[in-house]
Structure 1
């Protein structure tokens, strides 16, 4: 009896080709779409988000073309608790979260894997651009071949057990090659645009989303400098992120940037570009995929599409991880993730808390 694969299908070209590649590799495939929210819940038109009825029909039509079973799983309650509520709470705490990481951690590689086991599948398959290898010592998570599409940064939470039962068939391809395969197979979504990074806020208006979801309006407060001098009035501290320059509404002789957010005081600190550079950060909720020596110079990435920079990392007594960069980094932001690399391999990652 052949191996079975559960394919997470969003209706986009990447997951569609992932399903095709797994079938070509001899797997008995089942296509599934995770229903994460209703479009009405987030105030968006159906065609603008990745959970729309049209996307479900797109995924279903590809599954029919491939001749594989297809299901829709209702994960709305889990998504609200693990992703949306976490997103809102993070902003309220003065952080800038990355909900894609939480969705991968809790939905795609936890709840979806549970469904895979119920359906007696051997692997969960997604359209991420990353690679997994195994060398007898354990499993390794590597960057995707296409550096412009590499998604290893948002996958650092994968455990050894999850890596053993996960497959990323697109990892060795470029985006152009994937679209070409889709065209060759006659997939109607071959030229479909990529989905938004944050699927439940496709217009990027975090403030309106938080206010509508919570029923509470943001409270204005003081913009201050690092000495506490009042510079103006902000619209609500969670409307801003570290490094932001535009949209402050303050006239000053030199450019001002958001350098700190103080939710307990409802204040946003502004400063110069030089004030944004720091060499040290602390992270929690850290997941280690590979070992690292305290004195080993590795590389670290503090946001999704950033080139990694040389750093060292050490674990503190309370389990947190301290990262020290060899050169100061701009706009280290609480709530984002720091991901450590050794070459193309992900060493581990966690949430930046200070």
Structure 2
């Protein structure tokens, strides 16, 4: 099937919302070398925009080439260049290796060492992509920065709003909660209204060399999903062992480093009591992994750090009014009902019903509770409030 592209110019606004023809609208397309960002660049070029493709080199070429199924690797840079050549746009590769290591990889290692569970993809969007790359786009005189994320930007009464993607199975709102109002004003997400199947067919329609390329898997700088190996490499000696302790105080065994464990983990504990055991807390300073029954994973609330609010009004006003929201605490879980409040002067989220396996370091993303698809912001989980009084707040 052949798809009709959005009209390029209707005399009032173009498809990206600017009141001028596409030919007078410069767009920097962030090109990772994958299908999604390649289709964005091809779509915009086909509509007549002045498109510049930029690819970020985020880590060592040699190591990256051997890492399959990851974004921003050596092969991906080659693919982005090929796509740019085919559709006829200038393409630049920017060396962001040192920034990526400092702002994303180092943070990843330190968060694990602190007994928390990091989300480097959020840090990458928050820092390297939507800060450094956005600045570069402005320096190039671009009117906006377009990406291949599955999320929607709409113009509301009080300015741009961020909404979940039309294709719920591809929605990336969990990883983009930290987008600020200023950044949102400059960003565009052309794929937000499209299903992945249509994006693949557009790639065929444009005859892109990456049309059949698999989607990125896992974290780009983590070979074979081995988080602990990466942390050990960045922080030699991080794998120091300690005790595995039951909630009732019994020492059940030993482990070879807290970096090997996450909240809610059941497999690979190496200890047994006859009943199923789960990691319910990680005490990094004491190098202890605390385990217990599944009900000990239940959480009644959490505290936020680095909060970002892009809803109406202010976060303070919403918290003071005990405003209802929907909150997502894992990228793979649906949002659940909760309320915003305060705890010791820190923004807090209180679940209507206890939520299982909430982990420090993960994100709590807030959505409108009134049935819309709007994203209100969120923050990183600083502390969890257990529903089970046997567990001390982590």
Q: TM-score range by the shorter chain?
A: over 0.9
C-alpha contact 1:39 1:46 (8 A) present in aligned 2 = no
- TM-score normalised by the chain length of structure 2: 0.86
Deviation at 1:284, TM superposition (A): 0.6
1:26 is aligned to 48
Deviation at 1:315, TM superposition (A): 4.5
Which stretch has the larger CA shift, 163-172 or 290-299? 290-299
SS of the aligned residue for 2:117 comes to coil
Indicate how the Cα distance of structure 1 residues 201 and 288 shifts in structure 2: closer, same or farther if over 3 A, else same.
same
Matching residue within 270, 279, 302 for 1:249: 270
C-alpha contact 2:258 2:289 (8 A) present in aligned 1 = yes
Partners of 2:291 and 2:175 lie apart in 1 by 30
Deviation at 1:97, TM superposition (A): 0.4
Partners of 2:298 and 2:253 lie apart in 1 by 24
Matching residue within 358, 367, 389 for 1:332: 358
Deviation at 1:70, TM superposition (A): 0.1
Partners of 2:139 and 2:380 lie apart in 1 by 31
Q: Any idea what the Cα deviations from partners look like across 1:167-196, whole Å, max 9, x if unmatched?
A: 000000000010010011111211211112
Deviation at 1:197, TM superposition (A): 3.5
Partners of 1:241 and 1:47 lie apart in 2 by 25
C-alpha contact 2:304 2:347 (8 A) present in aligned 1 = yes
1:352 is aligned to 381
C-alpha contact 1:39 1:51 (8 A) present in aligned 2 = no
Partners of 1:25 and 1:327 lie apart in 2 by 48
1:234 is aligned to 255
Unaligned runs of 5+ in 1: none
1:210 is aligned to 231
Task: Tell me the number of residue pairs that the alignment of Structure 1 and Structure 2 aligns.
Answer: 352
Deviation at 1:51, TM superposition (A): 2.8
Alignment pair present for 1:161 and 2:182: yes
Aligned ranges for residues 1-354 of structure 1 at < 5 Å?
2-40=24-62, 45-47=66-68, 49-291=70-312, 292=318, 294-315=321-342, 318=345, 320-342=346-368, 343-354=372-383
C-alpha contact 1:279 1:329 (8 A) present in aligned 2 = yes
Partners of 1:345 and 1:48 lie apart in 2 by 31
Partners of 1:169 and 1:13 lie apart in 2 by 13
Q: Any idea what the Cα deviations from partners look like across 1:134-193, whole Å, max 9, x if unmatched?
A: 123121100001101100111111111111110000000000010010011111211211
RMSD: 1.6
C-alpha contact 1:2 1:26 (8 A) present in aligned 2 = no
Deviation at 1:225, TM superposition (A): 1.2
Partners of 1:134 and 1:270 lie apart in 2 by 48
Partners of 1:21 and 1:135 lie apart in 2 by 25
C-alpha contact 1:300 1:311 (8 A) present in aligned 2 = yes
